[in-house]
Amino acid sequence: MATDAVVPARSGALAALGRAWRALVWFAKGVTGESKYAAYVAHERAAHPDRTPMTERDFWRCVYSEQDANPGARCC
């Protein structure tokens, strides 16, 4: 039947759409810096397993304090 061939095509298209959405979310988190905290926690757990990582709030306070102290080249 022709309808049997439509189902795999739809599921393939939905899978592709899902991959595209996940890629877009990953990109947006990288651009906005949201992935920085996850990278920090992964580093802390790998390099310093005996230490408790900062909370996300404290991490961002530290990042912003560092940026204010050393502005460097950035847009704002």
- Number of residues written out for the chain: 76
Band of residue 20 on the pLDDT scale cut at 50, 70, 90: very high
| Residue recorded with tokens 């926690």 | 41
* pLDDT at site 42: 96
- 63 exposure class (CB count in 10 Å sphere: 0-12, 13-18, 19+): middle
Identity (one letter) of the amino acid at 74? R
pLDDT tens column, 27-53: 988 888 888 999 999 999 999 999 999
Q: How far apart are CA 37 and CA 61, in angstroms?
A: 12
**61: pLDDT strictly greater than 80:** yes
Sign of the dihedral defined by the CA atoms of residues 69, 63, 44, 26, in that order: negative
